[in-house]
């Protein structure tokens, strides 16, 4: 079904504010929203995380008397449960909101390991929260959708939340936004330079998405093995906390967190905690391409945020920035002589090569190899 049909139905019903966190299953919707409204307008805001997006929807309902639409991957339900249950629910403020949830890991369909559990419990999560839902499939026609949508609108008019659960391929768009940022340094090449600059005893924790896939393939390319790397599949925004505690437990090793700007924005509270704990062996690398590139390319909500200034204000000992191979190599030469915590922002282009593979090891195999590496020395 065309995403424009969903948006037009919402507008006809008075739902004219849209917010959320992008998802690959919702790319058609995200592309349509970006083409119509951009990402920072009166009608559309890309939020830092799904809980924050629900908060925006609550404010919209209070100020306008109308429900908003909140889009997210089903993994984002974890971030949204608290405000859905303790703020929006009928037993609290009874604030309506239409959720549009991408159903990754649907039972019976092949998906990545981090989506399997969430996919299995998505519908039961909504049921537990008392949120009625309809499922949108690739074969859903417009007439069927309009009928289901009418039922969801009745729920919203009662002051309750309702949800559309979106299967793969259910929402498409003819829009092809030109996402990009003008940068030239490719993320995979930046990661390669960072890996080359490390010592054999250094440990890496990489964030979810294409960056971890690139780290895996770079190790394959250089026949280095994978024991030094913890590839954080799922749990977006938490790689820095994993790396922080490893650094504290293993003060004799340098620990690198390979993070993304979208992941960093999702849980910015990690920065002051790292700054307060002051791990001397911690290097926080933030790949900044200004986009949710792994799930389609829509810009993140950071705007003009100065990541380096934020890190300094949070207590990091040193900060660096690079936007080319030369400046990256120079920054790495300097920071390796310094005590942390150190933050290195690398401004990169959007996009990845079309033949980028996925890890061939399981998460448990990754865990065991990485744990053995940490215990060895």
Whichever domain contains 141, its CATH number is 3.40.50.970
Quick check: 293 pLDDT over 80?
no
What mean pLDDT do residues 257-273 have? 95
Contact 338, 281 (CB under 8 A): no
Query: Which pLDDT score, from 0 to 100, does residue 105 have?
Result: 96
Q: Which of 108, 131, 166 is the last residue of a domain?
A: 166
Q: Is the dihedral of CA 172, 178, 183, 189 positive or negative?
A: positive
What domain range includes position 66? 3-166
Whether residues 142 and 112 share a domain: the answer is yes
Whether residues 158 and 200 share a domain: the answer is no
Structure tokens at 275: 């700054």
Q: Kindly state whether residue 178 falls inside one of the protein's structural domains.
A: no
Q: Which of 132, 166, 200 is the last residue of a domain?
A: 166
Query: Which pLDDT score, from 0 to 100, does residue 284 have?
Result: 98
Q: Kindly state whether residue 173 falls inside one of the protein's structural domains.
A: no
Quick check: 164 pLDDT over 80?
yes
The tally of domains found in the chain comes to: 2
Mean pLDDT lowest among 15-19, 41-45, 91-95, 331-335? 41-45
**DSSP-assigned beta bridge partners for residue 172:** 2
Banded model confidence at residue 302, pLDDT cuts 50, 70, 90: low
Whether residues 19 and 66 share a domain: the answer is yes
What mean pLDDT do residues 301-318 have? 89
Q: Kindly state whether residue 226 falls inside one of the protein's structural domains.
A: yes
% residues pLDDT > 90 (the chain):
88
Whether residues 256 and 161 share a domain: the answer is no
Banded model confidence at residue 370, pLDDT cuts 50, 70, 90: very high
Residue environment code for 337-361, b if the CB has 16+ CB neighbours within 10 A, otherwise e: eeebbbbbbbbbbbbbeeeeeebee
Q: Which of 166, 200, 226 is the last residue of a domain?
A: 166
Choose the most confident range, by mean pLDDT, from 180-184, 312-316, 348-352, 353-357.
Answer: 312-316
Quick check: 87 pLDDT over 70?
yes
Whether residues 199 and 159 share a domain: the answer is no
Quick check: 322 pLDDT over 80?
yes
Mean pLDDT lowest among 60-74, 94-108, 301-315? 301-315
Q: Kindly state whether residue 129 falls inside one of the protein's structural domains.
A: yes
Whether residues 246 and 332 share a domain: the answer is yes
User: Please, what is the angle between helix 3-12 and helix 142-157, to 10°?
Assistant: 40
257: Cβ contacts below 8 Å, ≥ 6 apart: 204, 205, 206, 207, 239, 240, 242, 243, 244, 282, 283, 284, 285
What mean pLDDT do residues 64-82 have? 96
Whether residues 284 and 212 share a domain: the answer is yes
Quick check: 176 pLDDT over 90?
no
Whether residues 88 and 51 share a domain: the answer is yes
Contact 295, 27 (CB under 8 A): yes
Whether residues 141 and 228 share a domain: the answer is no
Whether residues 10 and 158 share a domain: the answer is yes
Q: Kindly state whether residue 177 falls inside one of the protein's structural domains.
A: no
Whether residues 136 and 77 share a domain: the answer is yes
Quick check: 192 pLDDT over 90?
yes
What mean pLDDT do residues 130-154 have? 96
Query: Which pLDDT score, from 0 to 100, does residue 285 have?
Result: 98
Whether residues 156 and 212 share a domain: the answer is no
What mean pLDDT do residues 153-169 have? 97
Quick check: 377 pLDDT over 80?
no
For residue 114, CA distances in Å to 153, 209, 240, 266, 359 come to: 32, 11, 18, 18, 13
């Amino acid at each position: 079904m065309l995403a424009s049909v969903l948006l037009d139905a919402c507008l006809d019903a008075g739902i004219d504010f849209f917010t959320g966190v992008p998802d690959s299953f919702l790319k058609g919707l995200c592309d349509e929203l970006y083409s119509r409204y951009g990402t920072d307008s009166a009608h559309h805001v890309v939020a830092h995380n799904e809980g924050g997006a629900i908060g925006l929807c609550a404010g919209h309902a209070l100020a306008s008397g109308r429900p908003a639409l909140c889009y997210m991957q089903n993994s984002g339900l974890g971030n949204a449960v608290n405000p859905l249950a303790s703020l929006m629910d009928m037993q609290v403020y009874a604030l309506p909101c239409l959720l549009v949830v991408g159903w990754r890991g649907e039972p019976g369909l092949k998906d990545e390991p981090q989506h399997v559990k969430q996919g299995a419990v998505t519908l039961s999560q909504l049921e537990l929260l008392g949120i009625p839902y309809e499922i949108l499939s690739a074969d859903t026609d417009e007439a069927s959708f309009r009928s289901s949508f009418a039922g969801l609108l009745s729920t919203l008019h009662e002051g309750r939340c309702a949800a559309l659960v979106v299967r793969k391929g259910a929402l498409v768009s003819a829009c092809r936004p030109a996402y990009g940022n003008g940068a030239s340094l490719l993320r995979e090449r930046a990661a390669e330079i960072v890996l080359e600059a490390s010592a054999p005893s250094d440990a890496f924790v990489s964030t979810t998405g294409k960056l971890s896939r690139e780290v895996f393939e770079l190790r394959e390319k250089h026949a280095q093995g994978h024991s030094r790397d913890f590839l954080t599949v799922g749990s977006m925004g938490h790689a820095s906390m994993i790396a922080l505690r490893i650094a504290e437990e293993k003060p004799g090793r340098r620990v690198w967190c390979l993070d993304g700007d979208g992941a960093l924005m999702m849980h910015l509270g990690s920065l002051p905690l790292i700054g307060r704990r002051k791990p001397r062996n911690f290097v926080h690398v933030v790949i900044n391409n200004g986009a949710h590139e792994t799930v389609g390319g829509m810009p993140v909500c950071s705007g003009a945020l100065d990541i380096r200034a934020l890190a300094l204000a949070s207590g990091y000992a040193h900060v660096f920035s690079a936007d080319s191979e030369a400046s990256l190599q120079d920054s790495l030469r300097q920071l390796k002589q310094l005590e942390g915590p150190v933050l290195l922002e690398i401004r990169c282009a959007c996009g990845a090569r079309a033949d980028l593979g996925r890890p061939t090891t399981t998460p448990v195999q990754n865990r065991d190899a990485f744990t053995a590496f940490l215990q060895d020395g």
